[in-house]
Structure 1
Amino acid sequence: MTLKIPDEVRAKAEVYVGDAAGQEKTRLLLQETGLPSGLLPLQDIIECGYVEETGFVWLKQKKKVDHYFAKAGRHVTYAAEVSAVAEKGRLKKITGVKAKELLIWVTLHEICLDDRPTGKLVCKSIGGLSRSFPVEAFVAEAPPPKNPDANTTKDVNQQEEATSNGEAAKKESSNAEQQVEEEEEKKEEASAAAAIDEIDNKMKEMNKEKVVQAEAVAAKN
């Protein structure tokens, strides 16, 4: 569904165009609300709009983004257009964000910090489902510190080694995510197969009962 921003709302908004400006505003917005920095891992942002008066924010990216929060063990998908109302410690009236719960995708409408100081982030779905996770599970990883002496041969070698290790770790993480997805797909297939078997068994029982009834009628005649 296309997100239509009324002209009167756009007139009151701060509008940022391009990925760099959109990423920076998203980072600042999460920082100002006190929410974890990795909560909105969007990519190729086209436009970001924010109405300070109401807290309404919208984000448009080139395409949908699927993200796996490894520390929370959750897959989350962000539509090409996402919106919410930002408050201190809370994003409410969210659109365009879904999380995978067991075998189904649920639409999230609110993400907030726990009222008690437990260090938990609470995610609430439209259907009333609520889940709590450690705030650290949604914190973006900090980039590695820059080496001021990187021009020396020794430091260049260390930098290349670190890059190689980072790529290996990224590949390992990607493989782990793929394995998790494959396992979930297998569970979905097994669940679907079990449901089909159950329906098939019920049909066989019904047919068997019909045969018995027909035989009884024939015997009576």
Structure 2
Amino acid sequence: MGLVTEEVRAKAEKYSGDEICREKTKTFLKEISMPNGLLPLKDIEEVGYDRKSGVVWLKQKQSITHKFAEIDKLVSYGTEVTAVVETGKIKKLTGVKAKELLIWVTINEIYTEDPPTKGKITFKTPTTLSRT
């Protein structure tokens, strides 16, 4: 977890246990104006959030693949997901991939339109490809 240094961990809010971690994940997403179901993780072991730097991390027992039925997309979440967050944006995202045609593509940024009420979310890859 490159973003999550000992210094960041020391300053961050940290939570352990699936139930409280799911609740806190929903709270964090709401605070940054992102959709509640964006991180449908299971068996979460730890969630941390350093509000000053915006670094967030989530650890789960095993990787999961979730199908977003509304957009007919498969998304894979690794055992560790890290990011830097700000209102309407998730940057430097690690641990998340989406299936495009027959290949898994790494997602490194997610953001909403301004204002976020339009219901559009854009996903970007390290190669600057994106899908809204």
Structure with higher RCO (Cα < 8 A, 6+ apart): 2
Distance 2:20 2:118 in 1: 33
Distance 2:11 2:38 in 1: 25
Q: 1:129 Cα deviation (Å)?
A: 1.1
When normalised by structure 1's length, the TM-score is 0.57
Partner SS, residue 10 of structure 1 = helix
Aligned to 2:45: 46
**Is 2:93 the counterpart of 1:98?**
no
* Structure 1 residues 70-219: aligned runs within 5 Å: 70-115=69-114, 118-132=118-132
Structure 2: stretches of 5+ with no match in the other structure = none
Sequence identity percentage: 52
When normalised by structure 2's length, the TM-score is 0.93
Distance 2:114 2:51 in 1: 24
Partner SS, residue 38 of structure 2 = coil
**What letter corresponds to residue 127 of structure 1 in structure 2?**
T
**What letter corresponds to residue 131 of structure 2 in structure 1?**
R
Distance 2:96 2:129 in 1: 14
**What letter corresponds to residue 112 of structure 2 in structure 1?**
L
- Length, aligned pairs only: 130
Q: 1:125 Cα deviation (Å)?
A: 0.8
Partner SS, residue 60 of structure 1 = strand
Q: Which has the higher strand share?
A: 2
* Higher Rg: 1
Structure 1: stretches of 5+ with no match in the other structure = 133-221
1:93-139, Cα deviation, whole Å (9 max, x unpaired): 1000000111111100101102466421101111111101xxxxxxx
Q: Which has the higher helix share?
A: 1
Distance 2:100 2:66 in 1: 14
Partner SS, residue 38 of structure 1 = helix
